[in-house]
Structure 1
Amino acid sequence: MDRREALKAALIGGAGLAAGGLQGEAAAAREPGAGNSPPPPAPAPVRWRRGFDNQRIADLGNGFMLNPVLSGDRPDPAILKDGEDYYLTFSSFDSYPGLTIWHSRDLVNWQPRKPALTRNIGSVWAVSLEKHKGRYFLYIPVKAEPNEIYVIWADHIDGPWSDPKPLGLHDHIDPCHAVGEDGSRWLFLSGGDRVRLSQDGLSLAGKVEHVYDPWHYPDDWDVEGFSPEGPKIHRHGDWFYMLTAVGGTAGPPTGHMVIAARARSIHGPWEQHPGNPLVRTENQSEAWWSRGHASLVEGPDKRWYTLYHGFENGFWTLGRQCLLDTIEWTPDGWFKMTGGDLSQPLPVPKVARPLPHGMALSDDFSKPLAMGSKWSFFRPAPDEASRVRVADGTLHLTGKGLAPSSGSPLLLIAGDTSYRFECDIEIPPGGTAGLVLFYDDKLYAGLGFDETRFVTHQYGMERGRPANPLGRRMKMRVTNRRHIVSYHTSADGGKTWKRFDRGMEVSGYHHNVRGGFLMLRPGLYAAGEGEAIFRDFRFTALED
């Protein structure tokens, strides 16, 4: 199917195309002398399908999909093909439980399974997920004092996973496990380096060595910095292929990019791809910014694909989202990405039984909290889990600190550009609780209350304390519509709502302002004395 046929097929079932997507082709196809004919109508804009809580999903239901495949903060995707199954995890940074494993059979529809990391060992960056001789491994770089790379292993993808073991690598990030043609095991590292592993994969068997000088972009390109990172090694045919990210993860939208090299042996020498860079945002009008950290994977249809991350145009606040691109192997043994700027629908690999995609973010607290797969704490203490108790359709959350900045709020990953969330909240005497939009402990927004006053959170500070006439229980709602935030309260369980007299704008709550590589997450917090009680948490994605 050529591009014109693919785009035409994507219109079936109301999927539509991005406005203007075929205008150039339509103009080129007009008959000579037809210049006075009225122009054809513009194609309908692409619309995502909607799933749990009205959240957008990539699979359009007509054989095509529209990126992102996993929305919200899903950076540095680490993909593993395991027979007919695909497993995927992402950098989880300061959120714990972390490194949730996602499962798919078609690379488009994904279900969360369980978190692999429950103990706070620091800020978790780009990991390597591998299977070697029947055992699963995760190699985990951590930003801490000092930096470290850990390894954990399990005999089943759902665990139990071992306790993290440090490898003693303090000066590198982004490990990638690789096995040579001679059976040797290696970690390839940032900066074009590598180190040999023991045969059990649980310790080092040599010193770090430099093996590759990454391709460098022209000096006049707008980038964040060279930053060669995220190496991914794949063996295909007679070659080992190495994909690397350069240009910096954030900064200018045109900075991050994907380059490639190949070698006949795991020991090199590595030759640069003649088409570098293979992926790059060329201008800020494109749908996806700062695209990089790519991996190759063979799909269930025997075609090849690549997963990488990128920021949605105008929405740094959503973090780096997971994108799926199609690739084509060329006669000279190289490959190229074929999905363009990813603004248009792409074909979905066909499988007999695709998994349902995603999960509901709403929670009636009738079951134990889905920690890691849904809820997570920000930078938790070792005993943080003891703060949570679920009973009789209520969440009891023990207060901690004085505000979200010191209270390890309980957070979600939301992947839509507009949404609202609400909850019935009851506080004990001396307690404070509320709803937040949380980037980190220095940058957040939200609304809370104690028994006499509201507390408004803005710019990571507690700004105002107007009187609270509703007492120790109320229903509270936060609406974030494309960064414009409003708050409502209800004294009658949500039958009627009153708008709170404070609005906010949060488009600057992101990495390029604050650093940290995080996203703006919705959630709830409890501070001060006693246990706050939360009932009937509801999340609804809103269509723009």
Structure 2
Amino acid sequence: MKATRRETFSLAFGAAGALGVAAEAHADSLAPQGEVGAGPVWKTGIEGQRVADLGDGRYRNPVLAGDRPDPNVLKDGDDYYATFSSFQYYPGVPIWHSRDLIHWTPLTTALTRNIGSVWALDIAKHGGRYFIYIPALDSADAARSLKTWVIHADDMRGPWSEPVDMGIDGYIDPGHVVGEDGQRYLFFNGGHRVRLSDDGLSAAGKVEHVYGGWPIPEDWIIEGFALEGPKLLRKDGWFYMFSGQGGTAGPPTSHMVVVARSRSIHGPWENCPHNPVVRTASCEEPWWSRGHATAVEGPAGDWWLVYHGYENGFRTLGRQMLLEPIEWTRDGWPRALGGDLSRPLAKPVPTSSGAHGVALSRFTDDAFGTRLAFHAPQGDLSHRATLGRGSLRLAGQGRGPANSSPLLFVAGDRTYEVEVEIELEGVAQGGLLLFYNEKLFCGLGLSPGKLHAWRIGQEERWPPGGAVATGRLHLRAVNDENVVTFYYSIDGKSWTKERSFEVAGYNHNVADGFLSLRPGVYASGKGSVAFHNLIYRARPTRS
């Protein structure tokens, strides 16, 4: 039955490389007693989704499962705020909140206007105001394809300003800092830096090169030198710069965290003698390509690194948010203590518990502020979607899934299932997808009288989808550790298995773009599609 109340929403959408002996001993002391192998299975939370908190004073990575690339964390009093690269997904720049670095809940999305593909950004607070510095790749502007934008707000919940073009082109991965001279600066990839205006909204000088990175040994297997992601910290009379090097994907041993420091924001910068402080050393480790770190003080004054990594065997989930304890050595350098993150670790103190994650089922009225996002949308998003009474009506766009700008959400479980009921309105096509990008997706769709099957971004012909004499259908996808089986049902009770696909290759190393394989729905053609009864369930994993 169609929803009787429809509410069109506005664009506001509602609201280790050199781990020492002491570090090894610390990691061993946190290992669970009497356990062998990979340790305990993850505890589960909302809808069976995995959570980091083991309930016994320990946690197990990831602290935020699913695609959370380039995490950047701001400590603001007792609150922590995290945001991530949102690339081609809009609304973009998701903001999550925590009080203990373990339990995270979504707060809002800060960017609604499409300014291009949003890369690694930086949150800052200055003069009582919050700023997010955003590099974005705009393929429509060849002359200035890579721009730096800034948005600002008086509250992290928003409202956030319209994006301001800072006039800084050609750089990525900004990192904000206030120097000993009281001036504001942005550091960028490649060891570059620019002084900012007092209001933080524009450059106040020329971009200059100030740091050359850490010399990576020639025999290390990496993607490239790739000095990027500078995050600045002022502590005990030093400025510390935490950077990523080696490449964010490619071989599992590519990415790493390196540290340099200086007494002055103007340098010279001295490299840490035990760089890299974090690195995946072997493809046997549970987390690959670990890097892009922010150092943050914990609730009790202890220190942590927040960074991302790929889960071994599950690149499809994207780069997930990881948390590792660090200590400061007597000579003032950070040392990571988590080893390869295969073991549970002691939670930040004081230990706490609370809400974590977000329910993915149902089309709730706040869904666009917490979980749903369009892939590469064009024009005004509010014209395409209507929410009401747990249902979604989506206007058709394009000729099929590839150019339909599907509506997707982040799944962080190795095994899960998604169900949705679709209802065609007019000459439209709609369906359920697992979508990486416009060239790499799979799923089932329905158009008047016909079932469509999609694999590797193309419609299956051998065999093709069959005839279906209905304009309303239930669809189900079961992703069992990268083997996906699609089903359909007329009544939602008796299910027919349509076909299965292996999707482990639907990832960045195959298709580029830094994205993840996300479940979601699409509507194409003329007319629209109504979606009802969205259900997400995580299933137990075998490993």
Instruction: Tell me, yes or no, whether TM beats 0.5.
Output: yes
Q: Which amino acid in the other structure matches residue 471 of structure 1?
A: T
Q: Please give the residue correspondences for 1:238-317 in structure 2 after superposition, counting only pairs within 5 Å.
A: 238-317=237-316
Q: Please give the residue correspondences for 1:5-84 in structure 2 after superposition, counting only pairs within 5 Å.
A: 11=32, 17=35, 19-20=36-37, 45-84=39-78
- The aligned residue for residue 330 of structure 2 is 331
Structure 1 Cα separation of the partners of residues 62 and 115 of structure 2? 30
Counterpart selection for 2:100 from 100, 106, 111: 106
Q: Which moved more, 1:386-395 or 1:437-446?
A: 386-395
Q: Is 1:413 matched with 2:410?
A: yes
Q: 1:369: Cα distance to partner? A: 4.3
- The aligned residue for residue 221 of structure 1 is 220
Q: 1:351: Cα distance to partner? A: 4.0
Structure 1 Cα separation of the partners of residues 175 and 104 of structure 2? 23
Q: Equivalent residue of 1:168, what SS? A: strand
Structure 2 Cα separation of the partners of residues 114 and 20 of structure 1? 39
Q: State whether residues 451 and 468 of structure 1, in contact with CA within 8 Å, keep that contact through their aligned partners in structure 2.
A: no
Structure 1 Cα separation of the partners of residues 258 and 506 of structure 2? 30
Structure 1 Cα separation of the partners of residues 28 and 421 of structure 2? 46
Counterpart selection for 1:88 from 75, 82, 87: 82
Cα displacement string for residues 407-462 of structure 1 (whole angstroms, at most 9, x for unaligned residues): 11000000111111001111124111110000011111111011211111111112
Residues matched between the structures, number: 513
Structure 2 Cα separation of the partners of residues 478 and 369 of structure 1? 24
Q: Is 1:497 matched with 2:491?
A: no
Q: Which runs of 5+ in 1 are unaligned?
A: 22-44
C-alpha RMSD over aligned residues: 1.7
Q: 1:463: Cα distance to partner? A: 2.0
Q: State whether residues 433 and 522 of structure 2, in contact with CA within 8 Å, keep that contact through their aligned partners in structure 1.
A: yes
Q: 1:350: Cα distance to partner? A: 3.0
- The aligned residue for residue 531 of structure 2 is 534
Q: Which amino acid in the other structure matches residue 230 of structure 1?
A: G
Counterpart selection for 2:374 from 365, 374, 377: 377
Q: State whether residues 452 and 469 of structure 1, in contact with CA within 8 Å, keep that contact through their aligned partners in structure 2.
A: yes
- The aligned residue for residue 116 of structure 1 is 110
Q: State whether residues 57 and 351 of structure 2, in contact with CA within 8 Å, keep that contact through their aligned partners in structure 1.
A: no
Q: 1:97: Cα distance to partner? A: 0.5
Cα displacement string for residues 203-230 of structure 1 (whole angstroms, at most 9, x for unaligned residues): 1110011111101211111110001000
Q: Which of 1 and 2 has higher RCO (CA within 8 Å, sep 6+)?
A: 2
Structure 2 Cα separation of the partners of residues 443 and 408 of structure 1? 13
Q: 1:4: Cα distance to partner? A: 7.3
Cα displacement string for residues 366-415 of structure 1 (whole angstroms, at most 9, x for unaligned residues): x4141142100011122122111123432111111111111110000001
Query: Relative to structure 1, is the Cα distance of residues 419 and 352 closer, same or farther in structure 2, using a 3 angstrom cutoff?
Result: closer
Structure 1 Cα separation of the partners of residues 467 and 76 of structure 2? 55
Structure 1 Cα separation of the partners of residues 118 and 23 of structure 2? 41
Q: State whether residues 230 and 243 of structure 2, in contact with CA within 8 Å, keep that contact through their aligned partners in structure 1.
A: yes
Structure 2 Cα separation of the partners of residues 88 and 391 of structure 1? 29
Structure 2 Cα separation of the partners of residues 204 and 2 of structure 1? 42
Structure 2 Cα separation of the partners of residues 227 and 490 of structure 1? 49
Counterpart selection for 2:397 from 392, 396, 400: 400
Structure 1 Cα separation of the partners of residues 388 and 359 of structure 2? 20
Q: Which runs of 5+ in 2 are unaligned?
A: 1-21
Structure 1 Cα separation of the partners of residues 322 and 205 of structure 2? 36
Q: Is 1:207 matched with 2:206?
A: yes
Q: State whether residues 7 and 345 of structure 1, in contact with CA within 8 Å, keep that contact through their aligned partners in structure 2.
A: no
Q: State whether residues 369 and 375 of structure 1, in contact with CA within 8 Å, keep that contact through their aligned partners in structure 2.
A: no
Structure 2 Cα separation of the partners of residues 403 and 438 of structure 1? 13
Q: State whether residues 487 and 495 of structure 2, in contact with CA within 8 Å, keep that contact through their aligned partners in structure 1.
A: yes
Q: Equivalent residue of 1:427, what SS? A: strand
Query: Relative to structure 1, is the Cα distance of residues 4 and 187 closer, same or farther in structure 2, using a 3 angstrom cutoff?
Result: closer
Counterpart selection for 2:513 from 510, 516, 519: 516
Structure 2 Cα separation of the partners of residues 262 and 345 of structure 1? 31
Q: Which amino acid in the other structure matches residue 400 of structure 1?
A: Q
Q: Equivalent residue of 1:169, what SS? A: strand
Structure 2 Cα separation of the partners of residues 320 and 9 of structure 1? 25
Q: Which amino acid in the other structure matches residue 107 of structure 1?
A: L
Identity %: 51
Q: Which moved more, 1:268-277 or 1:380-389?
A: 380-389
Structure 1 Cα separation of the partners of residues 198 and 354 of structure 2? 35
TM-score with structure 2 length normalisation? 0.92
Q: 1:6: Cα distance to partner? A: 7.4
Q: Which amino acid in the other structure matches residue 474 of structure 1?
A: L
Structure 1 Cα separation of the partners of residues 178 and 26 of structure 2? 41
Q: Please give the residue correspondences for 1:448-527 in structure 2 after superposition, counting only pairs within 5 Å.
A: 448-464=445-461, 465-493=464-492, 495-500=493-498, 502-527=499-524
Q: Equivalent residue of 1:317, what SS? A: helix
Q: 1:7: Cα distance to partner? A: 6.1
Q: State whether residues 116 and 159 of structure 1, in contact with CA within 8 Å, keep that contact through their aligned partners in structure 2.
A: yes
Structure 2 Cα separation of the partners of residues 131 and 2 of structure 1? 33
Q: State whether residues 227 and 243 of structure 2, in contact with CA within 8 Å, keep that contact through their aligned partners in structure 1.
A: yes
Structure 1 Cα separation of the partners of residues 386 and 243 of structure 2? 44
Structure 1 Cα separation of the partners of residues 518 and 260 of structure 2? 37
- The aligned residue for residue 432 of structure 1 is 429
Q: Which moved more, 1:69-78 or 1:455-464?
A: 455-464
Query: Relative to structure 1, is the Cα distance of residues 303 and 350 closer, same or farther in structure 2, using a 3 angstrom cutoff?
Result: same
Query: Relative to structure 1, is the Cα distance of residues 393 and 307 closer, same or farther in structure 2, using a 3 angstrom cutoff?
Result: closer
Q: 1:531: Cα distance to partner? A: 2.0
